[in-house]
Amino acid sequence: MGKFNHLSHTLFTIKPLYKINKLNIESNKLWVEIIKLLWAVYNNINFQGNFMIASKYYSESENVCEFYIITDKWIELSHTTKSNNIILLRDLWDNYYLVEDNNWKNIYKLDDNNVFNIVDNRLLNMDHTSINKLFKWEPTLINSNNETWIYVFDKSTWKLTKLIDVININLNFPEMDWDMMIITSEYWEERFFYKNWKLYKFKKWYTLHNWYFKKWFFGEKIILKNSFKDMEQYLNEIVIPQNITIA
């Protein structure tokens, strides 16, 4: 639902739109000219930054939404999608864009040809995620297509790294306390340490408590700190993704 085949976008494009040349129209008249040209076909036209989003009837339950980018020279079709809700567009960072309605969130990358490219299929049809955390290189819960994971995203390489694979559990969003990642559900809590794309847990002979941990049952209490550097001697790197499941 949240994505639409670019190959079919010509079926939904009004050819006269491509005749509009921004350089030949005074800027204060450009939007008026576009609306005059398209209003007979599109049921809603709005402008968000350098983009125009125009929607029109597709079926009883859906509209087709077309995204046009306004460049210095002309107007180009960048993306099409189907939705019966209000579509919002958000510039995230370095030509990454969030396209969303009330039901889903998609992340795309605008290429040199002004076309929205899919970054990763796991960043499509998301119904739960924290976009701000995802774009700060923080571990982030992503619920997409009825599956749930905790990922970290490298914006420079377009790479998603799965840290936690979640099965049959409704997790809360992970909380980052400096280098310590706290994962909670309705019934339990787990703590990991995350550093440089790697995941760590306490060595098996340490027991973790609320504000301290200790070795075995009679060990001395050691204050829990949120710095990987302070805790490194007590931690082991673990294989990712870690599976968290309730049968």
Q: How many helices (H) and strands (E) does the chain have?
A: 3, 21
**Separation CA 208–CA 78 (nearest Å):** 51
The arithmetic mean of pLDDT across residues 5-33, rounded, is 50
**Contact residues for 18 (Cβ-Cβ < 8 A; gap 6+):** 74, 75
pLDDT bin (cut points 50, 70, 90) of residue 20 is low
Taking the CB of residue 109, how many other CB atoms lie within 10 A of it? 18
Residue with tokens 């339990």: 188
- Give the SS3 label for residue 209: coil
For residue 99, CA distances in Å to 44, 112, 130 come to 17, 19, 14
Give residue-wise pLDDT tens across range 56-109: 887 777 788 889 888 777 778 899 998 888 888 999 999 999 999 888 999 999
Is it the case that residue 55 has pLDDT exceeding 80? yes
Q: How far apart are the first and last CA of the chain?
A: 31
**Separation CA 34–CA 86 (nearest Å):** 20
Which segments of 119-179 does DSSP mark as H helices, in order?
A: 131-134
**Separation CA 228–CA 197 (nearest Å):** 13
Find the helix or strand (DSSP H, E) in which 30 lies.
Answer: helix 27-38
**Contact residues for 148 (Cβ-Cβ < 8 A; gap 6+):** 128, 141, 142, 166, 169, 171
Q: Name the DSSP class of 62.
A: -
**Contact residues for 145 (Cβ-Cβ < 8 A; gap 6+):** 124, 125
Which segments of 103-243 does DSSP mark as H helices, in order?
A: 131-134, 228-231
Quote the percentage of the chain above a pLDDT of 90. 41
**Separation CA 33–CA 39 (nearest Å):** 10
Give residue-wise pLDDT tens across range 149-197: 899 999 888 899 999 987 766 777 889 999 999 988 777 888 999 999 9
Taking the CB of residue 98, how many other CB atoms lie within 10 A of it? 19
